[in-house]
Amino acid sequence: MAIRLFVTGGTFDKEYDEVRGRLYFADTHLVDMLDMGRCRLDVEVRTLMMVDSLDMGESDRELIARQCREVAEDQIVITHGTDTMVDTARTIAEADLGKSVVLTGAMIPIAFGSSDGLFNLGGALTAVQILPPGVYITMNGRVFDWDKVRKNRDTGVFEEIEA
Amino acid sequence: MAIRLFVTGGTFDKEYDEVRGRLYFADTHLVDMLDMGRCRLDVEVRTLMMVDSLDMGESDRELIARQCREVAEDQIVITHGTDTMVDTARTIAEADLGKSVVLTGAMIPIAFGSSDGLFNLGGALTAVQILPPGVYITMNGRVFDWDKVRKNRDTGVFEEIEA
Amino acid sequence: MAIRLFVTGGTFDKEYDEVRGRLYFADTHLVDMLDMGRCRLDVEVRTLMMVDSLDMGESDRELIARQCREVAEDQIVITHGTDTMVDTARTIAEADLGKSVVLTGAMIPIAFGSSDGLFNLGGALTAVQILPPGVYITMNGRVFDWDKVRKNRDTGVFEEIEA
Amino acid sequence: MAIRLFVTGGTFDKEYDEVRGRLYFADTHLVDMLDMGRCRLDVEVRTLMMVDSLDMGESDRELIARQCREVAEDQIVITHGTDTMVDTARTIAEADLGKSVVLTGAMIPIAFGSSDGLFNLGGALTAVQILPPGVYITMNGRVFDWDKVRKNRDTGVFEEIEA
């Protein structure tokens, strides 16, 4: 059975605009990253949106949750901006899908040579195959239940909290 | 509780000798890789050897298994050359340690810009936290029980086999 | 005789702030770049400022010109933001130093894997050794006299103009 | 007028064979490198051969010299393995073409993230536009006349010698 990979944007996919000197979104790097990881899983990639997660609204989260419900796959990885990743995880958890859903992101854009993205993607694709149905966040080696994690805005680090 | 990371060499850590134009081993890249992945796990790294896995003998595998037994940690990741990774996994499994041990490697040296190593390391560190005690191989997104996998020497790909 | 390398900032040295998700300046990458290029020249690196060239004022340009005059070296490379590189070149040319001065920059930060910076640095260090005294800009393979070039703001490309 | 870029192989273009774990030649990376350098020159790339320069014979060098003569361009850059680069430079010099020919190479394959190749290519393309007719070697920032340079086999470094 294939794994579904939903792309929503986030730091993962930010590009550098060399004329204007700022970051923006173009196409996703996820397919290239699966190639670089020589990924031997059957992964179906679909881009749902390409936004900074600070710009996501509740309707965006509902759309993501609905897509998770509608696809045939029971194992779903979502690449997502880190700032509101926990919020989207909650919306999906509340949809009570009975599927394994893992959200992941990156602190550094993939387009930079030194991104953590490939490490995080390897973790997310591994976690989604092993974990029981539920909604999880994997970042920087750690695996969190959706309701026991927050992003520390000062340090940028995902931390465990009491549920 | 910390995760133990044992380094044994393999493609992961091969360097390019610019004077002689060939590949060789120097220091491990694993600590740099944990940095690049912004890894937030408590990982203790120890280099046990730095060899091509084709050059490993049974005494090397016994040493690795003994180290797995003796360290305090119950979650152990081993970076290893791919050619005899399955053999070392078997030696560790036969030691019957009651720990979670995950072996991983790379098809392309880390020193190359396009290595699969960071993806594989993310997968291995994630798997070792979730899987029940046992010996496993994670490569290129896939997770295998030690006795249900072989490396296809023609394609370089790890494949599932009947146990 | 050594070559003097003055660092002033610009896209060359922009970093990605992983907590705030924006670009900023920290330390220069120039020494690392000379290492990557296995540069065998005697290059003396000094950071004069670390700014976006849009934020440079006339006093900054005067400072750069004065430094060019005061150092012992007759061959000087300056890394500089592209937006006002031509303006700084003019200020240096007007100082009439009788030295070979080459300004260069990058369209993409060095911290990104795919920067043009190493290519441009190789060009600038080569040009400064060969060209007669004067002030030049080298960008993306091209070599311009300071008074025959402008940056096209729409395309980001340096173009030849009539002096 | 365009610059001609002849590709002959060498460390520049070595790839890592992930199944066999050794270095080999496939397609050239030179076009990708010109893209990465955002090169704005009119460069015509042609691959003449794809070999380790230790495997070049005198007929190979004659072929390269003949190609240099026959192309319309008067500015020619040649990417070449470092071990016999000086020998090929001599063969071309003896052909007495009245053109500017610059040979360059790399200590580290381009396919590695930390290659000196982009730096060297930037230097060679710059040198060929500025230098008077003659045959030159540019490596690691330095510019040599063809008859005043040798590769130090122990250190891998190109050094100036008395002509």
pLDDT value of position B117? 96
How would residue C100 be classed by pLDDT, with cut points 50, 70 and 90?
Answer: very high
Shortest alpha-carbon distance between residue A149 and chain B (Å): 14
Strand order from edge to edge, sheet including D3-9: D43-51, D3-9, D75-79, D100-104, D134-139, D142-145
Closest-CA distance of chain A to residue D104, Å:
26
Question: Residue D129 is nearest to which of C33, C121, C143, comparing CB atoms?
Answer: C143
Chain A positions touching D38 (Cβ under 8 A) are 18
Per DSSP, the residues of chain B read: -PEEEEEEESGGGEEEETTTTEEEE-S-SHHHHHHHTT--S-EEEEEEEEE-GGG--HHHHHHHHHHHHHSS-SEEEEE--STTHHHHHHHHHHT--SSEEEEE--SS-TTBTT-SHHHHHHHHHHHHHHSPSEEEEEETTEEEETTSEEE-TTT--EEE---
- As a residue count, chain B comes to 163
Neighbours of chain D (3+ CB pairs under 8 A): A, B, C
Q: Per-residue confidence at C56, pLDDT binned at 50, 70, 90?
A: very high
User: In sequence order, what are the residues at sequence separation of 6 or more whose Cβ sits closer than 8 angstroms to the Cβ of residue D72?
Assistant: none
Distance CA D120, CA B115 (A): 24
**Cα–chain center distance at A94:** 18
Q: Which of D108, D127, D142 sits opposite C40 (nearest CB)?
A: D142
Query: Predicted confidence band at B30 (pLDDT cuts at 50, 70, 90)?
Result: very high
Per-residue model confidence as pLDDT tens digits over B69-96? 999 999 999 999 999 999 999 999 999 9
Residues 6+ apart with CB under 8 A from C59: none
End-to-end Cα distance, chain C = 32
State residue B112's pLDDT score. Answer: 85
Looking at chain A, which residue has its C-alpha nearest residue C157? A19
Residue C38's closest chain B neighbor by CA?
A: B18
Q: Which residues of C touch A52 (CB under 8 A)?
A: 21
> Over chain D, what is the mean pLDDT?
96
CA distance B60 to B49: 8
Distance from CA of B132 to the nearest CA of D (A): 31
pLDDT-derived band at D36, boundaries 50, 70, 90: very high
Asked whether the CA dihedral C103, C106, C109, C112 is positive or negative, the reply is: negative
D residues 47-106 lying closer than 8 A (beta carbon) to C = none
CB contact under 8 Å between D122 and C127, yes or no, is: no
Q: D114 to chain A: nearest residue by CA? A: A113
D88 Cβ contact partners less than 8 Å away, ≥ 6 residues apart:
D8, D53, D56, D61, D64, D78, D80, D103
- Is B114 in contact with D114 (Cβ distance < 8 A)? no
Say yes or no to pLDDT of D137 above 80.
yes
The dihedral over CA atoms of D19, D24, D26, D27, expressed in degrees to the nearest 10, equals 130
Whether C108 sits inside 8 A of A156 (CB atoms) is no
Alpha-carbon distance B11 to nearest alpha carbon in chain D (angstroms): 8
Residue B12 near residue B118 (C-beta atoms within 8 A):
no
What letter represents residue C73's amino acid? E
φ, ψ of residue A135 in degrees (nearest 5):
-120, 130
Using CA atoms, how far apart are residues D56 and D87, in angstroms rounded to an integer? 10
Q: What is the pLDDT of residue A129?
A: 98
B111 touches chain D (CB under 8 A): yes
By Cβ distance, the residue of D18, D38, D113 closest to A113 is D113
Question: What does the pLDDT read at residue B144?
Answer: 98
C partners (3+ CB pairs within 8 A) are: A, B, D
Nearest CB to D11; choose among B21, B113, B155: B21
- Does D20 or A40 have the greater pLDDT score? A40
Q: What are the tokens at B64?
A: 């690795």
Nearest to C137 by CA among B3, C129, C127, A141: C127
The helix/strand count (H/E) of chain A reads as: 4, 10
Nearest-Cα distance to chain B for D153, in Å, is 7
Question: Would the pLDDT of C1 be above 80?
Answer: no
Chain B residue with CA closest to C18: the answer is B38
Q: Hey, are the CB atoms on A140 and B33 less than 8 Å from each other?
A: no
Angle between the N-to-C axes of helices B85-94 and B58-70, in degrees from 0 to 180, rounded to the nearest 10: 50
Q: Per-residue pLDDT averaged across C75-99, rounded?
A: 98
CA distance D120 to chain A (A): 20
pLDDT confidence tier of residue B1, bands split at 50, 70 and 90: confident
The pLDDT of residue A89: 98
Computed over every residue of chain A, the mean pLDDT equals 96
Give me Rg for the CA atoms of chain C.
15
Tell me how many residue pairs between chain A and chain C have CB atoms under 8 A apart: 43
Q: Is A7 helix (H, G, I), strand (E, B) or coil?
A: strand
A125/B125 Cβ within 8 A: no
**pLDDT attached to residue C114:** 81
- The DSSP annotation for A96-119 comes to --SSEEEEE--SS-TTBTT-SHHH
Size of interface B-C (CB pairs under 8 A): 3
| Contact status of A112 with chain C (Cβ, < 8 Å) | yes
Query: Could you tell me what percent of chain A has a pLDDT over 70?
Result: 100
| A17-39 average pLDDT score | 94
Write out C59-114 in H/E/C secondary structure: HHHHHHHHHHHHCCCCEEEEECCCCCHHHHHHHHHHHCCCCEEEEECCCCCCCECC
Mean pLDDT of chain B, nearest integer: 96
Distance from CA of B57 to the nearest CA of A (A): 28
DSSP labels, D93-156: HHT--SSEEEEE--SS-TTBTT-SHHHHHHHHHHHHHHSPSEEEEEETTEEEETTSEEE-TTT-
Average pLDDT over residues B145-156: 95
Question: Which residue type does A14 have?
Answer: K
Average pLDDT over residues D54-73: 97
In this model, does residue B163 exceed pLDDT 90?
A: no
DSSP H helix total and E strand total for chain C? 4, 10
The partner residue sitting opposite A138, judged by closest CB among B115, B126, B143, is B126
Please say if the pLDDT value at position C144 is more than 80: yes
Q: What is the pLDDT of residue B149?
A: 98
Distance from C-alpha of A29 to C-alpha of C8, rounded to nearest angstrom: 32
Dist CA D46 CA C5 (whole Å): 35
State how far residue C115 is from chain B, nearest Cα, in angstroms.
Answer: 14
Query: Structure tokens of A160?
Result: 């465990």
Question: Any idea what DSSP says for residue C2?
Answer: P
For residue B113, give the nearest of C18, C38, C113 by CB distance: C113
Reported as a single tens digit per residue, the pLDDT across B42-57 is 999 999 999 999 999 9
The secondary structure of residue D37, as a DSSP letter, is T
The reported pLDDT for the residue numbered A163 is 73
Given an 8 Å threshold on Cβ–Cβ distance, is D123 in contact with C125?
yes
What are residue B134's DSSP bridge partners?
Answer: B100
Nearest to D78 by CA among D97, C49, C36: D97
CB pairs under 8 A between C and D: 108
Chain A positions touching D18 (Cβ under 8 A) are 38
Give the amino acid at A82. T
Cα separations (Å) of B157 from A41, A124, C86? 12, 21, 54
Predicted pLDDT of residue D59: 97
